[in-house]
Structure 1
């Protein structure tokens, strides 16, 4: 069987811990019966041998598999990773979602996406990454009484994502420590109004509103100060024609949305300006996690 989960961009602009979107970059795991347990890893993270021995996927998979099954079978896990690690593209959420999905699929136990989402919440308590990983598309999500409540919007074919991945990470834990302990009422109202406008713009497909709606006063500038080049990435992307350009997750990746016909020009401008960063254009994913037997 094969399980694939898309990358995600969360914390979108003013949507701190609330707004997230799925990208057509995937992590896949192929699981086969085996006489003994084995793990292979290709793509992102393959140069880190410790990931084979201290594998979060295997740990979560075993948690669920041992609860669901009375059998003790061995498997070969073959990982094919496209999602960069520790770059704000939801690699941890992809691991969590794929591990739980795999355990249920191996045992042939039905698992709805809604239930999967709430099971994943035990490992990732911010819904802005796990929700698009499970559901695909653009999502507004919140947690109430240990349950994720969300509304999803499929992304149209005429938009593309331009992804800028710097040559070094920003620690999520360190990044959160840079954020203020308290916010002023003015800043809170600013973010509330802009997050509301950004959500409305996505739902109504008013793409010209994204640039204004994606402004933020809660987290981006504090995190971007750890890598000042990111201010220039944002400025360059918007000047070249992006509809919006925001920090992805806690960074260091920067995420922009553009019309398909403008995306290659924007990518080219960013490549010329930041030749030492990895930059590419990709589609959005509207399906989320997939299980194929």
Structure 2
């Protein structure tokens, strides 16, 4: 049995901690035989091979008495780069418990469990449902709603350095002036309306009008403004900081991907890129 959980990209600009999408890079967990202790085989740096591995911890959060197994983990998701590597691990762990304990959890039940572990649903919900998901916590219930998928590709620019999430959150303001908070919220609300109404003519402007986090985090990821400018010149829809960064995501028509990649290279932006599509399936199990 193999569990496949997709990477994800959160915020989409002003949808801070509430909007995310799944992309076609995957964490795969192959479940082996039962064992006396949890054994996690992988070649990922600085990641546990035992029961304190995040995948196993998530599984044990669901079923504390889950019998140990040998599992093999492979991942094409860059670690600590704003592409939901920890969320994919949490989602895979919940699915591991679901399968081994025969729980038959619904997607909504998986979202409740994953969001409680993660703290918010912006990465875990799309990793479970696939596509673009808007969600939040209301009275201790995580509500997640899947939006229509826009007809675009994504190009992720992945800098070689990490941005620790705690540091990225530390630079955020503790409060906003009331008028700014109202406007920032209105932009986010209109972005959601544009996604559901498929108003792609205004989608890009809204995604790039964030007032919650990108302005202060841009100092941690100086390539953001340069890539956004190149995106405008290459016919991109929008460029945004993926999660806490440092990955920078550009939404663009498929026909513009090649030209945009060339413009990055020509401008000296030579870090690795990932040519992505939006994953529609979310977490799944294959035999």
Using the size of structure 2 for normalisation, the TM-score is 0.93
- Pair 1:162 & 2:162 matched: no
- Pair 1:128 & 2:122 matched: yes
Kindly state the Cα deviation for residue 41 of structure 1 after the two structures are TM-superposed.
1.2
1:113 aligns with one of 107, 113, 118? 107
- Seen in structure 2, the aligned counterparts of structure 1 residues 3 and 288 have a Cα distance that, compared at 3 Å, is same
The SS at the match of 2:24 is strand
- Pair 1:197 & 2:177 matched: no
For 2:60 and 2:153, the matched residues in 1 are separated by 37
- Seen in structure 2, the aligned counterparts of structure 1 residues 115 and 265 have a Cα distance that, compared at 3 Å, is same
- Do the aligned partners of 1:245 and 1:254 also contact (CA within 8 Å) in 2? yes
Aligned position for 1:283: 277
The SS at the match of 1:5 is strand
Kindly state the Cα deviation for residue 239 of structure 1 after the two structures are TM-superposed.
2.2
The SS at the match of 1:79 is strand
The SS at the match of 2:9 is strand
Kindly state the Cα deviation for residue 62 of structure 1 after the two structures are TM-superposed.
3.0
For 1:245 and 1:49, the matched residues in 2 are separated by 31
For 1:275 and 1:110, the matched residues in 2 are separated by 46
- Pair 1:177 & 2:178 matched: no
Aligned position for 1:51: 48
Aligned position for 2:12: 12
Aligned position for 1:206: 199
For 2:212 and 2:64, the matched residues in 1 are separated by 42
For 1:35 and 1:6, the matched residues in 2 are separated by 27
1:218 aligns with one of 212, 222, 227? 212
Gap runs ≥5 in structure 1: none
- Pair 1:83 & 2:77 matched: yes
Aligned position for 1:149: 143
- Pair 1:258 & 2:278 matched: no
The SS at the match of 1:39 is strand
For 2:5 and 2:59, the matched residues in 1 are separated by 15
Mean Cα deviation higher: 99-108 or 223-232:
223-232
For 1:161 and 1:112, the matched residues in 2 are separated by 29
2:64 aligns with one of 63, 66, 76? 66
Gap runs ≥5 in structure 2: none
Mean Cα deviation higher: 182-191 or 116-125:
182-191
Kindly state the Cα deviation for residue 274 of structure 1 after the two structures are TM-superposed.
4.1
The SS at the match of 1:263 is helix
- Do the aligned partners of 1:97 and 1:133 also contact (CA within 8 Å) in 2? yes
Kindly state the Cα deviation for residue 49 of structure 1 after the two structures are TM-superposed.
4.7
Using the size of structure 1 for normalisation, the TM-score is 0.91
For 1:173 and 1:110, the matched residues in 2 are separated by 35
Kindly state the Cα deviation for residue 50 of structure 1 after the two structures are TM-superposed.
4.2
The SS at the match of 2:30 is strand
Kindly state the Cα deviation for residue 264 of structure 1 after the two structures are TM-superposed.
2.1
RMSD: 1.8
Kindly state the Cα deviation for residue 34 of structure 1 after the two structures are TM-superposed.
4.2
What do the CA deviations read for 1:78-100 (whole angstroms, capped 9, x no partner)? Answer: 11101111111111111111101
